[in-house]
Amino acid sequence: MRRAIGVFLAAVVAAAIPRTAAAAGAPENVQLARPDGTLNAMLYRPDGEGPFPAVVALHGCAGLGKNGIAERYRDWAERLANIGFVVLFPDSFGSRGLGPQCRVGNRAARASRERVADANAARRWLQDQSFVKADRVFALGWSNGATTALYTIRGGPSTDRSHPDFRSAVALYPGCKKLSTLGWSARVPTLILIGANDDWTPAKACEQMVAGARGRSAQVAITVYPGAYHGFDEPDMPVRVLSGVASSADGSGRVHRGTNLEARADALKRVPEWLQRFAQDRHQNKLP
């Protein structure tokens, strides 16, 4: 009986979260300049002339997608475009001729360096567009892209004197272990969402990182979802075991990944609310 009730409730939750939101417009392929070449990207725009707030969306270690863009990223982009955000996905791996990097230890596009440069190149490109509010550009990342976002907004004031800094950042299941040892803090308000059962990028490391930043950082909020694994926001992916990944909590290279309906539902509500909140004029990004 309990199993039947559980299945029924899961079906209700799934029905309440459309798998894909209808997009305001088809994505555009654009090219951006980066220090070591060209950065290919996919651009989603809301209907209208703008200017709109914008999001630099940073893919995970599997890349942007085999054929265009992965369903998870398309789903997020369409949802955000429908509430008035421009969304730009820089392709850090494909632009360098790289395939998926989840099983690669020594990466040519590192979250701490090359991908930070990509995130900033994407931000500046957006800020130069007439349909974007230059002081309302956000960073949003998943997994390795989330780690990139945390490196990008790390520490003291921005060194970019020609363009405004990121307005805020959102990181879904980032890898926090190294950042925690580096004494990470955020220079802009930051939201972290992660699963309690994540055995790829453990939640405990992120909780320790956030605790260590208190008193010397911009606002940082973290939500840990009970029972959720890596990739909890996938539209429809039963939890599965992946093997051979370059990093895992226990060093085995085996990790779990897949949808958690409750965590996904909360993230789909919490992230837009966070972005809309900091897109308002009254919010200023000042350190305490």
pLDDT band of 14, cuts 50, 70, 90: very low
% residues pLDDT > 90 (the chain): 78
Domain-located, residue 6: no
Binned at pLDDT 50, 70 and 90, residue 171 comes out as very high
Task: Give domain status of residue 3, yes or no.
Answer: no
Q: Residue 107 and residue 101: Cα distance in Å, rounded? A: 7
Whether pLDDT at 3 is above 60? no
Q: Are 134 and 127 in contact (CB under 8 A)?
A: yes
Q: Is residue 284 part of a domain?
A: no
Give residue-wise pLDDT tens across range 202-228. 999 999 999 999 999 999 999 999 999
Q: Provide the domain limits for residue 178.
A: 20-279
Note the pLDDT of residue 24.
Answer: 56
How many independent structural domains does the chain possess?
A: 1
Scored b (16 or more CB within 10 A) or e, 59-82 reads bbbbbbbeeebbebbbbbbbbbbb
Q: The whole model's pTM is what?
A: 0.89
Residue 288 domain-assigned (yes or no): no
| 39 domain-assigned | yes
CATH code assigned at 95:
3.40.50.1820
Rounded CA separation 232/130 (Å): 35
- Does any domain span residue 137? yes
What's the pLDDT at 17?
44
Residue 157: inside a domain = yes
The answer to whether residue 269 is domain-embedded is yes
Please check the confidence at residue 288 and state whether its pLDDT lies above 80. Answer: no
